[in-house]
């Protein structure tokens, strides 16, 4: 029986109470709210949404007015935190330190600094932290995302989201109206759509927001989210509607082959208008986002294999977007969203020309604690983490150490035990996911690696796909099908699956990606590999592959003296890549990700990595 507590017993606390009590094998053991009278009386009905408006029976439930006393007296498996937003961080950290898994209402906090504190506390405690962005679980929004990712109606041309309430008129004088406690309309109401925009389309390049600021706080906002090459995305939110208008949420997705419309005030709420044929209402799941998010949370706690709908890092990214929207309103201009690595801002000394510097863990050739010492000596925090050791004999110990050290990750990387890099010919026949005899095991490893990538907070999983022989149409199609399967899994979990350069020419790799047209597929660009494999000029290849480049390996090499042999890897700056031309090419195409230094040869690889850092910082 799972023992659950709820801290904060206002409107949203009651909503959580309704959802928890409907579940089998769950007991609400404790409630906490500073309003003792409300707890003793059961509080009476609050709010105007079904599920939170009824009086509740609190018999048999321990009641507290102080979270500290609750945690001192109760041993809880999980806690719902539904207190005012400015208290989210403090109460969540306390709950995590007490050993409870935490479901905290949205938004995560009122600043990225507070959000990072929550994330770090969850990592240190080894407990799940889920933020209640319930729209990701709302049946109509879930169905809309399914329609978009399925691709049957083509790409999204434009997307418009609207969310309105009468909060500013109906809840005057309470904590909602104090932006220092709630974050105001922007953080409390509009955050739903900001979060769903990045859930559906990823991180925008910039945001441009306009708001009604005459009342002293933004009661109404319109934001444009810019994505290179589209779609056109806007979200409007306001909580100054009249009480007779009340609450409403709406979206319209204009796609190449259909228009998808949702309006919470209409019946049916969701309608698809296809290019040919009659409009129809697709089937959606029963229930609401509140109950679905709690079922998801329970699945995580119990160790079930759950789709990656929301992670603490996603919620932290939403905070970053909200901060940017607030800044845009105040300054009257668009704010660029730099690709910060999953919620942790890299310090100035760990960046080069604005790109975060990372180190490939396997280059250090030591256990995780040794890596930690080396990274400290190198003054680098960001890691491109090898996941292959997880599948080795001492994999459990490796993973436990990685979780404990809780590095911010620029990417995770998976390799395979059957690969033979003895010669170009040996890797041609054994590399990546191509060998049929090893495909079942390779598939299992990549799918597990996707789960770990999400858990550890990395935005990408990288791998060598292997040599794709286009001359053999059947074999090539088999590999394309495998890549699609793996990319589907990565996309469902909200991460990118990146193919490392080297084993194909830039033109061949571009043709593959254009053929697959999968939104989760991208490139981990390794310039040295193109030289080592004899696949062309890496600087020129950047222009060819620019739309797909999401992560960079900083590695250098010399061309092979004889065709058919390996080239020679050398320290960064001693080979044929050409640092200045390479970095200029990245600037030219607008690359915004990390530079991960890799060294796979040499006797003193940490020294060589240090040399690379110094040379890069001269730019």
- Could you tell me which residues come within 8 angstroms of residue 330 by beta carbon, excluding any fewer than 6 positions away? none
pLDDT in tens, 436-465: 999 999 999 999 999 999 889 899 999 999
Q: What stretches of 548-593 adopt beta strand conformation (E)? A: 549-554, 556-558, 568-570
pLDDT exceeding 70 applies to what percent of the chain? 94
The pTM of the full predicted model, rounded to 2 decimals, is 0.67
pLDDT band at 261 (very low <50, low <70, confident <90, very high): very high
Cα–Cα dist 136/560, whole Å: 51
**What Å distances lie between residue 273 and 380, 398, 463, CA to CA?**
51, 51, 40
- pLDDT of 136 reads 96
**Per-residue pLDDT at 56 exceeds 90:** no
Mean pLDDT value of segment 109-127: 87
pLDDT at position 435: 93
Tens-digit pLDDT profile for residues 593-614: 899 999 999 999 999 999 999 9
- 201, pLDDT greater than 80: yes
- Rounded to 10 degrees, the C-alpha dihedral 533/539/545/547 comes to 150
What does the block give as tokens for 617? 């910082």
Helix axis angle, 395-405 to 368-378, nearest 10°: 40
């Amino acid at each position: 029986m799972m023992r659950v507590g709820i801290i904060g017993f206002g409107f949203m606390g009651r909503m959580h109470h309704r959802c928890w009590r409907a579940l089998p094998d769950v007991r609400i053991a404790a409630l906490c709210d500073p309003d003792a009278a409300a707890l003793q009386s059961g509080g009476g009905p609050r709010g105007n949404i079904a599920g939170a408006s009824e009086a509740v029976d609190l018999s048999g439930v321990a009641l507290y007015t102080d979270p500290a006393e609750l945690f001192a007296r109760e041993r809880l498996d999980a806690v719902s935190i539904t207190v005012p937003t400015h208290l989210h961080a403090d109460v969540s950290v306390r709950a995590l330190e007490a050993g409870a898994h935490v479901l905290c209402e949205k938004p995560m906090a009122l600043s990225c600094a507070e959000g990072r504190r929550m994330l770090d506390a969850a990592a240190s405690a080894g407990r799940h932290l889920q933020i209640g962005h319930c729209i990701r679980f709302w049946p109509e929004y879930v169905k809309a995302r399914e329609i978009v990712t399925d691709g049957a109606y083509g790409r999204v041309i434009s997307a418009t989201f609207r969310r309105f309430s009468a909060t500013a008129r109906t809840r005057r004088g309470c904590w909602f109206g104090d932006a220092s406690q709630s974050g105001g309309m922007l953080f409390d109401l509009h955050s739903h759509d900001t979060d769903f925009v990045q859930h559906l389309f990823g991180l925008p390049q910039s945001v441009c927001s306009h708001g009604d600021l005459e009342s002293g706080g933004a009661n109404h906002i319109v934001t444009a989210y810019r994505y290179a090459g589209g779609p056109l995305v806007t979200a409007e939110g306001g909580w100054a509607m009249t009480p007779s208008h009340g609450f409403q949420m709406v979206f319209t997705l204009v796609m190449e082959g259909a228009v998808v419309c949702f309006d919470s005030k209409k019946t049916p709420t969701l309608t698809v208008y296809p290019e040919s044929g009659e409009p129809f209402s697709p089937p959606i799941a029963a229930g609401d986002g509140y109950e679905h998010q709690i079922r998801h949370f329970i699945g995580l706690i119990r160790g079930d294999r759950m789709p990656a709908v929301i992670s603490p890092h996603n919620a932290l990214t939403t905070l970053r977007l909200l901060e940017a929207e607030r800044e845009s309103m105040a300054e009257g201009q668009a704010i660029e969203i730099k690709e910060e690595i999953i919620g942790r801002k890299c310090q100035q000394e760990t960046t080069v020309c604005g790109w975060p510097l990372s180190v490939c863990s396997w280059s250090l050739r030591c256990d995780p604690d040794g890596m930690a010492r080396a990274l400290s000596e190198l003054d680098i925090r960001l890691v491109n983490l090898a996941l292959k050791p997880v599948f080795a004999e001492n994999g459990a110990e490796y993973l436990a150490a990685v979780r404990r050290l809780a590095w911010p990750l620029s990417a995770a990387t998976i390799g395979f035990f059957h690969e033979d890099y003895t010669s170009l010919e040996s890797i041609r026949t054994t590399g990546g996911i191509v060998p049929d005899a090893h495909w079942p095991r390779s598939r299992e490893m990549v799918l597990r690696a996707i789960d770990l990538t999400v858990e550890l907070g990395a935005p990408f999983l990288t791998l060598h796909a292997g040599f794709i022989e286009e001359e053999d149409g059947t074999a090539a199609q088999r590999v394309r099908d495998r890549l699609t399967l793996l990319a589907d899994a990565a996309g469902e979990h909200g991460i990118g699956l990146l193919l490392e350069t080297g084993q194909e020419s830039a033109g061949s790799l571009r043709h593959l990606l254009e053929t697959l047209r999968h939104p989760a597929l991208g490139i981990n660009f390794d310039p040295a590999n193109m030289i080592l494999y004899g696949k062309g000029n890496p600087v020129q290849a950047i222009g060819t592959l620019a739309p797909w480049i999401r992560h960079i390996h900083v590695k250098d090499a010399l061309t092979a003296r004889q065709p058919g042999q390996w080239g020679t890897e050398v320290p960064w700056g001693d080979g044929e890549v050409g640092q200045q031309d390479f970095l200029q090419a990245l600037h030219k195409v607008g690359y915004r990700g990390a530079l991960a230094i890799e060294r796979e040869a040499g006797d003193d690889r940490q020294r060589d990595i240090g040399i690379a850092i110094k040379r890069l910082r001269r730019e």
